[in-house]
Amino acid sequence: MDESKFNKVDFSKYFQPPSLKAARRRRRETVHIINDFSIPGDMKTIGRGKKYLVETYGCQMNEHDTEVMAGILEEMGYQETADVNDADVILINTCAIRENAENKVFGEIGHLKPLKREKPDLILGICGCMAQEETVVNRILQKHPQVDLIFGTHNIHRLPQLLKEALFSKEMIVEVWSKEGDIVENLPQSRHGHFQAWVNIMYGCDKFCTYCIVPYTRGKERSRHPEEIIEEVRDLARKGYQEITLLGQNVNAYGKDLQNPENYGLGNLMDEIRKIGIPRVRFTTSHPKDFDDHLIEVLGKGGNLCEHIHLPVQSGNSDILKIMGRGYTRERYLDLFYKIKKAVPNASFTTDIIVGFPNETEEQFEDTLSLVRECRFDGAYTFIYSPRAGTPAARMQDNVPMEVKKERLMRLNKLVDELAAESNARYQDQVVEVLVEGESRKNSEVLSGHTRTNKVVNFRGPNSLIGQLVNVKITDAKMWSLDGEWQKEPEVAGR
């Protein structure tokens, strides 16, 4: 491989290694709103007649970043393709949350090697959260010379310039800024859906849960201004969107970093969005610590605010929660849970859980099972703890063998499945409102969509219903989905 490809990289300039001390300092830094995104004159038509493909491996924020990169590429004339063999630019938008997420990406980089050899003009770029990790960038530089471009989550707006460098240089281009105090407002976006849309309300995370890499890969918490968000939502309403999801790693911290004497927060924002003519509004992800009474009160007003709360608990044991740095106890979580349930009686609840955190005992794990049993969650994303280099938890000694962790995960999943089936059974014979999202993945003759409570519903009906809200009577409640019959004549819209 060409040695010069990695000789040029000065890591100290590009990376901010995980550091709690630096993070405490970063909270005080001012956020700059930038509106100066533009495509350089010589790049405006560079993509004409060419195609791009972005592969996305991460969370909703990552998927939304893909929509922004797609928007930028389309402004340069590139067209989307779903076929790697057809693409002139391939970007891999990566996730660093767990080791297996990273392994998948390295597998894909390996798969693309022969293609790059066959088509030397192909530009292969790696971006997203893994690009923020020094170890990952080093590994790519040393072992994967087929990669042309690496850029971080704070460099997306620089894509045109970076692509230009990659096109005209023989070296691997690496740009990963640790600079994170900015919000670029005028980026284009090419939304994937025509009736569902994601709207970022904030970026970054300052929670620093001890196991988590996100505060390092996404930078400090920074909220968009309410006017910008509301304008975007109004625009989506005008364009006929049926559902929006407000996005952030910790949406309940919305507003905390704004110059904000009135303490304008997520509750205020949702209260304003409630008045906009979009039928469904969701938000994710909530952090229990910052979920305040005002937000609960606003959610209780219903209307377009959907009755689904994703409220990650991570563990049901207060000692583990403390070591995780979550900032709440089991009791506080349960108090919050019941408070929301009271204000929004029809709400469905989902959660995230980590099993096998370092030194988790059997009793501590059973506390998680008992909390899950008590909350009777509609669903849960469950994970085995995965050490992330540079995080405090990764430095802890761990006495729990992997077989024990796997066995705990299986026990937890069994309970989660039972509760999911139980919660779905309550929908039997009810009429529910469904946003029809498309043909079912398993059967193209069946349409599929979600209820306001985020349950998957499958039913037969004409494709013309796609993108519409319809009523469906549930005839068969399964564990993870509901089968039903389309009600041509509108009945009472249930939940």
Minimum CB separation of residue 449 from ligand SF4 in Å reads 28
Annotated ligand binding at 209? The verdict is yes
- CA geometry: angle at 196 spanning 495 and 92, to 5°? 130
Residue 156 contacts which entry, ligand F3S, ligand SF4, ligand SAH, none (Cβ below 5-8 A, type-dependent): none
Minimum CB separation of residue 332 from ligand SAH in Å reads 15
Residue 95 contacts which entry, ligand SF4, ligand F3S, ligand SAH, none (Cβ below 5-8 A, type-dependent): ligand F3S
β partners of residue 432: 472, 494
Minimum CB separation of residue 18 from ligand F3S in Å reads 13
Nearer to ligand SF4, 243 or 290 (CB): 290
What residues from 193 to 222 belong to the interface with ligand F3S (CB under 6 A)? 213-214, 217-218
What residues from 385 to 404 belong to the interface with ligand F3S (CB under 6 A)? none
Among 50, 54, 62, 202, binds ligand F3S (CB under 6 A): 62
Give the pairing of strands 447-450 and 431-439: antiparallel
Minimum CB separation of residue 142 from ligand SAH in Å reads 25
Minimum CB separation of residue 58 from ligand SF4 in Å reads 12
- Which residues have a Cβ under 8 Å from the Cβ of 3 and sit 6 or more positions away? none
Residue 62 contacts which entry, ligand F3S, ligand SAH, ligand SF4, none (Cβ below 5-8 A, type-dependent): ligand F3S
Binding site for ligand SF4 (CB under 6 A): 205, 207-209, 212, 214-215, 249-250, 287
Give the pairing of strands 202-203 and 243-247: unpaired
Nearer to ligand SF4, 212 or 380 (CB): 212
By the rule CB under 6 A, 298 interacts with ligand F3S: no
Nearer to ligand SAH, 171 or 417 (CB): 417
Structure tokens at 181: 């105090």
What region does 183 belong to: left with phi over 0, alpha with psi -120 to 50, or beta? beta
Q: What is the 3-state secondary structure (H, E, C) of the chain?
A: CCCHHHHCCCHHHHCCCCCHHHHHHHCCCCCEEECCCCCCHHHCCCCCCCEEEEEECCCHHHHHHHHHHHHHHHHCCCEECCCHHHCCEEEEEECCCCHHHHHHHHHHHHHCHHHHHHCCCCEEEEEEHHHHCHHHHHHHHHHCCCCCEEECCCCHHHHHHHHHHHHHCCCCEEECCCCCCEEECCCCCCCCCCCEEEEECEECCCCCCCCCCHHHHHCCCEECCHHHHHHHHHHHHHCCCCEEEEECCCHHHCCCCCCCCCCCCHHHHHHHHCCCCCCEEEEECCCHHHCCHHHHHHHCCCCCECCEEECCCECCCHHHHHHHCCCCCHHHHHHHHHHHHHHCCCCEEEEEEEECCCCCCHHHHHHHHHHHHHHCCCEEEEEECCCCCCCHHHHCCCCCCHHHHHHHHHHHHHHHHHHHHHHHHCCCCCEEEEEEEEECCCCCCCEEEECCCCCEEEEECCHHHCCCEEEEEEEEECCCCEEEEECCCCCCCEC
Residue 386 contacts which entry, ligand F3S, ligand SF4, ligand SAH, none (Cβ below 5-8 A, type-dependent): ligand SAH
Among 9, 43, 46, 97, binds ligand F3S (CB under 6 A): 97
Among 63, 165, 271, 352, binds ligand SAH (CB under 6 A): 352
Minimum CB separation of residue 177 from ligand SF4 in Å reads 20
Minimum CB separation of residue 186 from ligand SAH in Å reads 27
Annotated ligand binding at 95? The verdict is yes
Nearer to ligand SF4, 207 or 450 (CB): 207
Binding residues for ligand SAH, rule CB under 6 A, total 16
By the rule CB under 6 A, 372 interacts with ligand SAH: no
- Which phi and psi (to 5°) does residue 203 adopt? -120, 160
By the rule CB under 6 A, 131 interacts with ligand F3S: no
By the rule CB under 6 A, 359 interacts with ligand SAH: no
Among 6, 264, 383, 486, binds ligand SAH (CB under 6 A): 383
Minimum CB separation of residue 211 from ligand SAH in Å reads 4
Binding residues for ligand F3S, rule CB under 6 A, total 13
By the rule CB under 6 A, 350 interacts with ligand SAH: no
Nearer to ligand SAH, 370 or 386 (CB): 386
Contacting residues toward ligand F3S, per CB under 6 A:
58-59, 61-62, 95-97, 128-129, 213-214, 217-218
Report the binding-site residues for [4Fe-4S] cluster: 59, 95, 129, 205, 209, 212
Report the binding-site residues: 59, 95, 129, 205, 209, 212
Contacting residues toward ligand SAH, per CB under 6 A:
97-98, 211-212, 249-250, 285, 287, 312, 314, 352, 354, 383, 385-386, 388
